[in-house]
Structure 1
Amino acid sequence: MAEQPSKLFPVKPKLKSKPRTTNQTSESKYWSSFKTHQIPGLISVRSLSFSPTTGHPFAVVHSARLSIYSSETLSSISTISSFSDAVTGASFRSDGRLIAACEISGRIQVFDRNTRGPLRQLKSHTRPVYYVQFPLLDKLHLISGGDDALVKYWDVAGQTPISELRGHKDYVRCGDSSPINTDIFVTGSYDHTVKLWDMRVADRKSVMEVHHGKPVEDVIFLPSGGLIATAGGNSVKLWDLLGGGKLLSSMESHNMTVKSICVGKIGRDSGEESNQSRILSVGLDGYMKAFDYANMRVTHSQRFPAPLVSVAFSPDCSTRVIGSSNGIVFAGKRKTKEKEKEESSSTLFWRVAPVKQPRREVLKPSYYRYFQRGQGEKPSEGDYVVMRPKKVKLAEHDKLLKKFRHKEALVSVLGGKNPENVVAVMEELVARRKLMTCITNLDVGELELLIMFVQKYCTMPRYASLLFKVAKRVIEMRAEDIRASVSLRSHIRNLKRSVEEELQIQRSLLEIQGIISPLLTSAVRR
């Protein structure tokens, strides 16, 4: 009875590691559609902020300068360099005409965006100021927080602080104003707390406090105004202000400190805002994460080649900018359908109208030509398509295996450079119970090829289980030939050396594991 092959041709290795396949969701496709453009040449990008007005230019704070970039072209519009010290933060006014910036020296300056001239200088902080912001829809006041642990509410026109808010016990590095009330804002500090302030309260004390558990790097209001998100350590936490500061969720997907967070919305292609908002977070581990706080899960993760320190998202959902510690801004631009229509309509006048093709007659089953359409005809909806099976082109070793010429198949594949094909042929021969017979019938030159292959690939994890067994059988069955050949003895010595080196590596790894395991166990218990 003729011997049957154990599998279909061409043969494929069982031990081949399967590639990792990820089903990309529609939301991942959305965030991936922001094509990254690098803006290099900056020094330590500390802060990013978008203008709320149409066009949405964004300000980049770096070194002792403040640069304004176009969100359309991602090119520099203007640069403000009227600073005596490093700039730490910036904020646009609601009409986009003024921009406030704070410095390490503790001074806050207000500039006209068009003329770049300083209009006001606010001096009251005695330590560096890292947070400054115009409240939403408020053109007359500013909020600032500094390393003197003070939060100040300023009268911009009079250049004087209206209120000096005390309560924090360490550096105040971040804050945000409420999207629904200009009198309410929050500030975050390195004392691990976030405080809620209401300027309508007479005693000027914080009306609520939440404890993040780590130095707070950033805090933002979510669009509803009743929730806030805080970032510190490797976690982003969500708090319910209307529920008395209740902790709703804690996202700990970053491996290192989270430096900045902002709110991003899912798409606005048709001109109307989407109700789906996400918390975008960046950290020193180089990752940007999108967090769906409605379903409490991370929906997208993207890696950048540098530690990230700031992130901002444009109000029209078309531009995303991320600042890194090495001075590169990763700006992502996404075209919306509305802009594509505008571009096509603006260039329509200059285009030559295409020649209209004559309308083809629709073929019906009652026509003779319906059954003589040929292979080039595309099937219409509802047609039953019978596909001709594609002819598989077999390699030389597959042809030999198909003819049951086992030794020739093994020798032919050993002469190639693809280890996966060699392993696949060996597995096929094992299934047919012919591998040992082939090894016995190999001459000295062919046996040398086999031993060289085993010596080269036996330490690879995906091939080791099979090749170590093959090596053992070869040494047992062909011991006399190995002793009689100088070249074979040399290859066996190389094989022994490779195995000893691999064993030494495994012992070292076990020693390292023994050292690390107690440390991890004690860290978890704490």
Structure 2
Amino acid sequence: MAAPVTRVPLARLPALPAASTPEQRYWGKFKSHLLIQEYGAIKSINFSPVSPHDFAVTASTLVKVYSSKTRAVSKTISRFQAPAQSGSFRSDGRLLIAGDEGGLIQVFDVGSRVVIKTWDEHKGNTVNVTRFSPTNVTQALSASDDKTVRLWDLTSPNSTHKFIGNQDYVRAASFVPGSPHSVVSGGYDRTVRLWDSRSAGDHLSMEFNVPAPVDALLVLPGGTTVLASSGPTVYVWDIIAARRVAVLHNHQKSVTSLALSTGPRQGGRRVLTGALDRHVKVYDPATWKVVHGVKYPAPILAIGISHDEKHLAVGMANGLLSVRTRSSGKEKEKAKEKERVLDMIAAGIDPITGMGGPKSKTSARRRRTRGMDYKGEGADMVVEQETKKKKERPWEHCLRKGNYGDALDLALTSNQPHITVFTVLGELRYRNAINAALAGRDENTLRPILRWLIKHLPDPQYVSTIVEVSLSILDLYSHDLGKSPEFDKLMRRLHLRVKQEVENAKQSSLIVGMLDMLLAGSASD
């Protein structure tokens, strides 16, 4: 009795490395992308520390508060006579402080938008930074083009401390977490200064120099690590050791904004940088290496990420506000459940009882057919089920009949020629029939084979098969070189492709050797 004919399975190539890392897949979840056009360049974005983490966007003479639930404007603060600067929330989310280019600082009640405090000591100089203290709800700071950094108290009409010593505009300032009396500042005099309000005199306690003006500062939780953007470079200092621990050179233009991601995620916190080169880059503070990056349509001036790490907002120089929202697992489950309910309704099935639909049985029908679906116990009854035979593919039929040349030609014209041809060639190698499939051909029937070889030669998974087929073609048709311009052209292309791959392999070997030497040298040090 003849053995049954089985289909030839398509070849399965080895699995390649994953196209994306877990970090890239995580940040790729920020998919719900919303673009909003504001009236002017977006100068700052600040998320409220308390749920639901609404965010303030400062642009032109307005500070707009966006709802994190609807991503629409919930409140607009317009009490500014000059362009506004650096609107930011207090730690309880109830107050918002902002400065303007006229030197005025105002504190607003977020709920009613009423001005509850104003200060005007900067006297016509742009107030670049305003921040509430993370620990003292009545304390705030400001940094201005008048070269000063000042501390304020809501109970006082005047500044409580004035830090003098900067030689140029102060463009960045921040409280130091864990140290309520310390403030760090940076500006166009190319210095980063650490101030202590308890010390006498000028209050300066530490100073770092950088090669370019400072546009942004970030102090990591714990208060021992300070990041400062100086041109396209970000410098990282350890305050306790008073030394620089890292230099980040991953941007091509000035870094304008720094943000910290501390939400509930695997792998710990991340540092985000935005620059005029239109890129946002994500760093791992453990290694200070870039783990992800996103490109935007315009130069970036401000970035912010919510404390629950659900919203990523980016402000650009042309007034575009980009808001990306990450979908959580619970929201995905709700979407799937909603889709399932809609499918049941479309099929005429009650989502609650599960009754109805074209395939449901009435009670009378269930009584009549009771027991008819009994299949018996598996140990006592064996039912042979006739399986539907899948149709044989044309090239499989030719292989079974021994028409190897026709099988190869049909594979070249199939829906998946790249893997089908590889499968057929593998079968021909197994049957020692490659020469039989290639013999007796002219330039028209050799052309698709040579083109397939040229196209897939760079793929290392195909190399051994392509080499064997190419050598067979040379053995069979080398005496025909010079007779057909088309055949000669394809053979020259194949020859050039082989030379190119050999050269690439040599260069790769040289690079591997150099890397081995560098790694050996670093290990010895």
Q: 1:494 to 1:172 in 2, by over 3 A?
A: farther
Aligned position for 2:201: 203
The one-letter code matched in structure 2 to 1:458 is: I
CA-CA distance at 1:423 after TM superposition: 4.7
Q: 1:93 to 1:265 in 2, by over 3 A?
A: closer
- Count of matched residue positions in the alignment of Structure 1 and Structure 2: 450
CA separation in 2, counterparts of 1:64 and 1:70? 20
CA deviations 1:400-437 (Å, max 9, x no partner) are: 44554321211212333524433553465466554344
Q: Which of these residues, 458, 462, 470, is aligned with residue 454 of structure 2?
A: 458
> Secondary structure of 2:439's partner?
helix
> Secondary structure of 1:40's partner?
strand
1:52, 1:92 within 8 Å by CA — same for their partners in 2?
yes
The CA RMSD over aligned residues, in Å, is: 4.8
Aligned position for 1:303: 294
Q: Which of these residues, 154, 177, 180, is aligned with residue 178 of structure 2?
A: 180
Q: 1:38 to 1:407 in 2, by over 3 A?
A: same
Say whether residues 1:69 and 2:60 are aligned partners.
Answer: no
Aligned position for 1:153: 151
CA separation in 1, counterparts of 2:82 and 2:467? 66
1:254, 1:285 within 8 Å by CA — same for their partners in 2?
no
> Secondary structure of 2:180's partner?
coil
2:194, 2:205 within 8 Å by CA — same for their partners in 1?
yes
| 1:103-502 pair list within 5 angstroms | 103-118=100-115, 119-120=117-118, 122=120, 124=122, 127-154=125-152, 160-211=158-209, 215-233=213-231, 236-241=234-239, 243-250=240-247, 257-267=254-264, 276-283=268-275, 284=277, 286-291=279-284, 293=285, 295-296=286-287, 298=289, 300-306=291-297, 307-326=299-318, 327-333=320-326, 335=328, 354=352, 371=378, 395-401=393-399, 404-416=402-414, 418-426=417-425, 429=428, 434-442=433-441, 444=442, 447-452=443-448, 454-455=450-451, 458=454, 462=458, 477-478=476-477, 489=484, 491-492=486-487, 495=490
1:125, 1:146 within 8 Å by CA — same for their partners in 2?
no
Q: Which of these residues, 84, 89, 92, is aligned with residue 87 of structure 1?
A: 84
Aligned position for 2:346: none
Q: 1:320 to 1:210 in 2, by over 3 A?
A: same
CA separation in 1, counterparts of 2:245 and 2:452? 55
1:45, 1:329 within 8 Å by CA — same for their partners in 2?
no
Q: 1:498 to 1:288 in 2, by over 3 A?
A: same
Q: 1:429 to 1:356 in 2, by over 3 A?
A: closer
CA-CA distance at 1:60 after TM superposition: 1.0
CA separation in 1, counterparts of 2:220 and 2:440? 75
2:278, 2:296 within 8 Å by CA — same for their partners in 1?
no
CA-CA distance at 1:141 after TM superposition: 4.3
> Secondary structure of 2:143's partner?
strand
CA separation in 1, counterparts of 2:131 and 2:329? 30
Q: 1:372 to 1:255 in 2, by over 3 A?
A: farther
2:313, 2:321 within 8 Å by CA — same for their partners in 1?
no
> Secondary structure of 2:11's partner?
coil
The one-letter code matched in structure 2 to 1:331 is: R
2:412, 2:448 within 8 Å by CA — same for their partners in 1?
no
2:50, 2:91 within 8 Å by CA — same for their partners in 1?
yes
CA-CA distance at 1:54 after TM superposition: 4.2
CA separation in 2, counterparts of 1:238 and 1:331? 28
CA-CA distance at 1:98 after TM superposition: 3.1
CA-CA distance at 1:68 after TM superposition: 0.5
Say whether residues 1:56 and 2:49 are aligned partners.
Answer: no
CA separation in 2, counterparts of 1:490 and 1:127? 78
- Structure showing greater relative contact order (alpha-carbon pairs closer than 8 Å, 6 or more residues apart): 1
The one-letter code matched in structure 2 to 1:38 is: L
The one-letter code matched in structure 2 to 1:265 is: T
> Secondary structure of 1:259's partner?
strand
CA separation in 1, counterparts of 2:296 and 2:431? 50
Q: 1:223 to 1:406 in 2, by over 3 A?
A: same
1:61, 1:67 within 8 Å by CA — same for their partners in 2?
yes
CA separation in 2, counterparts of 1:220 and 1:183? 17
Say whether residues 1:38 and 2:34 are aligned partners.
Answer: yes
1:232, 1:258 within 8 Å by CA — same for their partners in 2?
yes
The one-letter code matched in structure 2 to 1:413 is: A
CA separation in 1, counterparts of 2:180 and 2:287? 29
CA-CA distance at 1:87 after TM superposition: 3.2
CA-CA distance at 1:448 after TM superposition: 0.7
The TM-score, its normalising length taken from structure 2, stands at 0.68
1:455, 1:491 within 8 Å by CA — same for their partners in 2?
no
Aligned position for 1:5: none
CA deviations 1:260-295 (Å, max 9, x no partner) are: 223322429xxxxx995443334445234152x3x4
2:128, 2:143 within 8 Å by CA — same for their partners in 1?
yes
Q: Give unpaired runs (5+ residues) of structure 1.
A: 1-7, 269-273, 345-351, 358-367, 376-389, 510-526
What is the percentage of aligned positions where both structures have the same residue?
Answer: 24
CA separation in 2, counterparts of 1:185 and 1:336? 39
2:42, 2:57 within 8 Å by CA — same for their partners in 1?
yes
CA separation in 2, counterparts of 1:431 and 1:285? 54
CA-CA distance at 1:177 after TM superposition: 0.9
CA-CA distance at 1:399 after TM superposition: 4.7
Q: 1:356 to 1:456 in 2, by over 3 A?
A: closer
Aligned position for 1:516: none
Q: Which of these residues, 96, 99, 107, is aligned with residue 99 of structure 1?
A: 96
Q: 1:121 to 1:467 in 2, by over 3 A?
A: same
Say whether residues 1:21 and 2:14 are aligned partners.
Answer: no
> Secondary structure of 2:53's partner?
coil
> Secondary structure of 2:37's partner?
coil
CA separation in 2, counterparts of 1:392 and 1:44? 63
The one-letter code matched in structure 2 to 1:188 is: G
CA-CA distance at 1:246 after TM superposition: 3.3
CA separation in 1, counterparts of 2:135 and 2:67? 23
CA separation in 2, counterparts of 1:475 and 1:353? 68
CA-CA distance at 1:258 after TM superposition: 3.9
Q: 1:393 to 1:117 in 2, by over 3 A?
A: farther
CA separation in 2, counterparts of 1:305 and 1:169? 34
CA-CA distance at 1:494 after TM superposition: 6.4
CA separation in 2, counterparts of 1:483 and 1:296? 60
CA-CA distance at 1:58 after TM superposition: 0.8
Decide which moves more: 97-106 or 467-476. 467-476
